[in-house]
Amino acid sequence: MIQAITDRRSIRRYKSAEVPSEVIEEILKAGILAPSAKNRQPWKFVVARGGAKKEALAAMEKGLERESACPFLPESAIHLNDAWYTLGVMKQAPVLIFIVNTLGEKMGKPLTIEDRVSEICNTQSIGAAAENMVLTATELGLGSLWICNTFFAYRELCDWLDTEGELYAALAIGYADEMPSARPRRSMKDTVEWRG
Ligand SMILES: Cc1cc2nc3c(=O)[nH]c(=O)nc-3n(C[C@H](O)[C@H](O)[C@H](O)COP(=O)(O)O)c2cc1C
């Protein structure tokens, strides 16, 4: 087993220490080296630090406030508090990396079956890039959090990003200020079916 796979945890408390740019670059390189469907490499990574991070967080906060009055995700309202908590984590982490699916169709556009298959493949490709990045962060002694609560502020964050494609996720990166124990996992028995 690769050590970083067993060592990685979602980190929700960070020290204020900055992460050197060369270290962030190593993490980005690992993302870029991920496999992707038809080698489409459907990703763009927007690194937000300092003032840019503050702007991104302001956009997320605006989105979460708007979500109470005029929800984009009405059926997920029970998770809105969780999104506020995630915003608090994002504030602590010195680096945020927003992951954009450059081939993503804007939310709400009806998809043909072909489009849907393509979207599923691109989503898997982006997941592979994100996993490479969080494992590399672990390997380099950093903590990370993979974040999709950004969807509650989807429009506001897309406006802030001002780039082609669809915001898929964000990664919070920094030096961990906690050591959580491993979260429970479903067993082999529950998840694997051997045939033959
Ligand atoms: C696609 C994805 C989205 C996630 N979004 C969030 C999030 O928005 N906020 C958060 O606190 N954790 C988020 N997580 C972290 C999960 O809660 C975490 O991975 C899971 O509970 C297992 O814990 P572990 O990562 O420490 O093993 C996300 C993880 C994934 C893979």
Q: What is the pLDDT of residue 110?
A: 86
Q: How far, in Å, CA of 29 to CA of 36, rounded?
A: 14
Residue nearest atom 16 in ligand 1 by C-alpha distance: 10
Q: How far is the CA of 89 from the centre of ligand 1 (A)?
A: 12
Q: What is the pLDDT of residue 108?
A: 74
Give residue for tokens 């494992």: 135
Give residue for tokens 């390997």: 139
Q: What is the pLDDT of residue 103?
A: 94
Q: How far is the CA of 38 from the centre of ligand 1 (A)?
A: 27
Q: What is the pLDDT of residue 116?
A: 92
Q: How far, in Å, CA of 99 to CA of 31, rounded?
A: 10
Q: What is the pLDDT of residue 64?
A: 98
Report residue 125: phi and psi, to 5°. Answer: -65, -40
**How many angstroms separate the Cα of 16 from the Cα of each of 33, 91, 109, 135?**
29, 10, 40, 21
Query: Which residues does ligand 1 sit against, CB inside 6 Å?
Result: 9-10, 12, 86, 145-149, 183
Q: What is the pLDDT of residue 124?
A: 98
Residue nearest atom 22 in ligand 1 by C-alpha distance: 183
* Local structure of residue 180 (DSSP, 8 states): P
Q: What is the pLDDT of residue 152?
A: 97
Q: Which residues pair with 176 in a beta bridge?
A: 14
Tokens of 150: 């950004």
Per-residue pLDDT tens digits of the chain, which is 196 residues long: 999 999 999 999 999 999 999 999 999 999 999 999 999 999 999 999 999 999 999 999 999 999 999 998 999 999 999 999 999 999 999 999 999 999 997 777 888 999 999 999 999 999 999 999 999 999 999 999 999 999 999 999 999 999 999 999 999 999 999 999 999 999 999 999 999 9
| Spans of all domains in the chain | 3-178
Measured in whole angstroms, the distance separating CA 144 from the mean position of its chain's CA atoms is 10
CATH topology of domain 3-178: NADH Oxidase (3.40.109)
Q: Under DSSP, is residue 169 helix (H, G, I), strand (E, B) or coil?
A: strand
Q: What is the pLDDT of residue 75?
A: 95
Q: How far is the CA of 13 from the centre of ligand 1 (A)?
A: 14
Q: What is the pLDDT of residue 129?
A: 98
Atom of ligand 1 nearest to the CA of 12: 11
